[in-house]
């Protein structure tokens, strides 16, 4: 259980750090591509002239910025919510189920976002590397974030399925929650020892 909690916090902390780095890198690359520039162009009427050209970054770079901010929010929420509800006290099976499904969906959606990011950039580069070290670093961090969120999603699935044991809200086994919801007055047949003790004749 402690190993699982350490692994979750280590992955979430690393994802938070990498997403902040990714946000800075993508912001710099977007600012590099965006803006105005003077280009020497040919016009049939006036000849060569300096023309102001407005350029904007490709949409995938804007998606990098969105994804970095999204990852920061998901990492902080996934780290704070279990701690918050654990300090609050007992968690109902229904709340545990809602949190568990939310974690799984958020982790796998975020991993898909990062997969789309680096796959699109790699396709634009034709499978090669870019002339910009910043863009290459963005691709590298995107691959790492994709792998880490994939690992977080797998750990969350194993936890709610009862393969890994955890007492954190959202990571508790859903099968355990189903057992806890069993009514106290259910008809459970007595064991053999209980039956023998109950019906033993007095001497």
pLDDT in tens, 112-134: 999 999 898 888 877 666 677 88
Q: What is the pLDDT of residue 177?
A: 42
pLDDT computed for residue 10 by the predictor: 94
pLDDT at residue 5 in the model:
86
pLDDT digits (tens, 9 = 90+) for 179-195: 344 333 333 444 444 44
Q: What percent of the chain has pLDDT over 90?
A: 35
Confidence band, pLDDT 50/70/90 cuts, at residue 95: confident
Rounded to two decimals, what is the model's pTM? 0.74
pLDDT (mean) for 6-34: 90
Domains and CATH numbers, the chain: 1-161 (1.20.140)
The tokens for 17 are 């750090």
Q: What per-residue confidence (pLDDT) applies to 52?
A: 60
More confident residue, 140 or 91: 140
Predicted pLDDT of residue 55: 61
Average pLDDT, the chain: 79
User: pLDDT digits over 31-73, tens only?
Assistant: 877 655 556 666 677 766 666 655 666 788 889 999 999 999 9
């Amino acid at each position: 259980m402690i190993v699982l909690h350490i692994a979750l916090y280590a992955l979430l902390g690393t994802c938070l750090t990498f997403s902040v780095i990714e946000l800075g890198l993508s912001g710099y690359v977007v600012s590099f591509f965006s803006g105005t520039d003077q280009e020497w162009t040919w016009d049939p009427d006036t000849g060569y002239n300096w023309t102001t050209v407005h350029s904007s970054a490709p949409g995938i770079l804007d998606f990098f910025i969105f994804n970095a901010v999204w990852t920061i929010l998901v990492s902080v929420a996934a780290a704070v919510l279990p701690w918050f509800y654990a300090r609050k006290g007992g968690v109902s099976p229904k709340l545990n189920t809602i949190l568990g499904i939310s974690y799984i969906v958020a982790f796998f959606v975020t991993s898909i976002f990062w997969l789309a990011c680096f796959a699109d950039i790699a396709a634009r580069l034709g499978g090669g590397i870019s002339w910009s070290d910043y863009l290459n670093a963005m691709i590298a961090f995107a691959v790492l974030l994709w792998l880490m969120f994939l690992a977080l999603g797998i750990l969350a699935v194993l936890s709610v399925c009862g393969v890994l044991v955890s007492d954190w809200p959202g990571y508790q086994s859903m099968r355990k929650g189903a057992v806890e919801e069993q009514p106290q007055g259910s008809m459970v047949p007595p064991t053999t020892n209980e039956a023998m003790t109950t019906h033993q004749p007095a001497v």
